[in-house]
Copies of this chain bind each other. A is one copy, B any other.
Amino acid sequence: MTKRIAVLTSGGDAPGMNSAIRAITLSALRSGFQCFGFFHGYNGLINQEYTELSAVSVTDITQLGGTILKSARCPAMLEPAGVLQAANALRKLHIDVLIVIGGDGSFRGMQALAAHWQGQLIGIPGTIDNDLSGCDNTIGFSTAINTATSAIDKIRDTANAFERVFITEVMGRHNGHIAYHVGIATGAEAIISFENCTAENTSQVLAHLKNAIEQQHQHGSFLIILAENLWPGGAQALKTELNSNADINCALCVLGHIQRGGAPSVEDRMLATELGIAAVEVVNGSIKANTEVATPVMVGKIHGAIVITEVEKVLNMDKPVSQEWVQRYQHYLAEQ
């Protein structure tokens, strides 16, 4: 039986979302399904702003950053009325399956919808922050860390020329996946992230940083990678405190939204393509979860295999940064 599959991208956009849209569309068409795209995340669902997706509409999008379906936050989905409107729209348009590409907020939207709509709900993890369990990597993470690393390689050039201390703030919302990957990849001299720095130990971190800089700085530059949303008062405050407490003069760079854009890396294009195909295979039954799972589900990739996880579980589990890396840099900050 032919089915009507709809897809939307929601929350912070992430490079690779277009590859997922393309894979869903092509796989759906090959399975004999119809495929639709809602614009602007859940807003387009509520407003019935959508388009039918064909092979032509997804030609030459896999290499593009952003999302052809646009994305948005949707406060209406936090209200019962909005959720009902969304459910009604799905019924009215005879949608059988809704695939949502996004992060935890977008997945909560799926949970809300599940109470009012009987169709199939499938999530695909798409966020540069990599802060979702049920998968090794989220779509967009690889591109974000490569973009940040290229930017910091440039900062290293000028830091070396001046033998200077630099604080570079990277994204990651409330975890250190980006900070640790970027820190290791750039050979940063220090990483300050949620995993090794809390509100309680900032003065200790400052003291260790001072020691590290004094000992290592003689032979060149010193790069500090700082996770966003962490330091009290922000990156600028850390710079000021290093200056006033330790007489260390830093330059500051907040990488910001450049980490969200750009052509996706091969890793993100592949992951998005595989997860898009997997989502359609869940629909046509060619792949199944190992155990019984309750809708909505998320498809992810863990250790090379496609894994289907209840969204409930995804939202309740943490995916911490490798303790080994944390220990290594903790040690570093603490003693060297």
Give A contacts to B, CB under 8 Å.
9, 12-13, 15, 22, 40, 56, 59-60, 62-67, 70-72, 136, 142, 145-147, 149-151, 153-163, 166, 181-182, 184-187, 219-220, 251-258, 260-263, 265-267, 269-270, 273, 303-304
A187–B63 contact, CB under 8 A?
A: yes
Which residues in B have their C-beta under 8 angstroms from that of A64?
Answer: 157
Contact for A65 among B59, B157, B166, B304, CB less than 8 A: B157
Contact for A160 among B66, B151, B254, CB less than 8 A: B66
Contact for A63 among B153, B181, B254, CB less than 8 A: B153
Bound complex: CA A182 to CA B185 (Å):
23
Bound complex: CA A261 to CA B15 (Å):
21
Contact for A156 among B72, B147, B155, B261, CB less than 8 A: B261
A219–B56 contact, CB under 8 A?
A: yes
Q: Beyond the given A63-B187, A147-B154, A153-B261, could you list 5 further A-B residue pairs with CB under 8 A, ordered by the A residue number? A: A40-B163, A62-B186, A153-B262, A155-B261, A252-B256
Measured between C-beta atoms, what is the minimum distance from A51 to chain B in Å? 16
Which residues in B have their C-beta under 8 angstroms from that of A270?
Answer: 181, 184-185
Asked whether A187 and B62 contact (CB < 8 A) given A146-B266, A256-B253, the answer is yes
- Select from chain B the residue with minimum beta-carbon distance to A152: B258
A158–B252 contact, CB under 8 A?
A: no
Measured between C-beta atoms, what is the minimum distance from A108 to chain B in Å? 19
Bound complex: CA A233 to CA B323 (Å):
41
Q: Which of A154, A265, A304 has the most CB of B within 10 A?
A: A154
- Select from chain B the residue with minimum beta-carbon distance to A67: B161
B151–A60 contact, CB under 8 A?
A: no
Which residues in B have their C-beta under 8 angstroms from that of A65?
Answer: 154, 157-158
B150–A263 contact, CB under 8 A?
A: yes
Which residues in B have their C-beta under 8 angstroms from that of A66?
Answer: 157-158, 160-161
Measured between C-beta atoms, what is the minimum distance from A137 to chain B in Å? 10
B59–A157 contact, CB under 8 A?
A: no
Bound complex: CA A136 to CA B70 (Å):
35
Bound complex: CA A256 to CA B256 (Å):
11
Measured between C-beta atoms, what is the minimum distance from A135 to chain B in Å? 12
Bound complex: CA A146 to CA B269 (Å):
10
B258–A155 contact, CB under 8 A?
A: yes
Which residues in B have their C-beta under 8 angstroms from that of A136?
Answer: 304
Bound complex: CA A261 to CA B166 (Å):
13
Q: Which of A70, A145, A153, A163 has the most CB of B within 10 A?
A: A153
Measured between C-beta atoms, what is the minimum distance from A266 to chain B in Å? 4
Which residues in B have their C-beta under 8 angstroms from that of A60?
Answer: 156, 160, 187, 220
A-B interface, 7 closest residue pairs, ranked by CB to CB distance from nearest: A154-B261, A65-B157, A157-B261, A303-B303, A13-B161, A66-B157, A66-B161
Asked whether A265 and B155 contact (CB < 8 A) given A70-B162, A72-B162, A187-B22, the answer is no
Measured between C-beta atoms, what is the minimum distance from A102 to chain B in Å? 12
Contact for A70 among B9, B153, B161, B269, CB less than 8 A: B161
Which residues in B have their C-beta under 8 angstroms from that of A184?
Answer: 269-270, 273
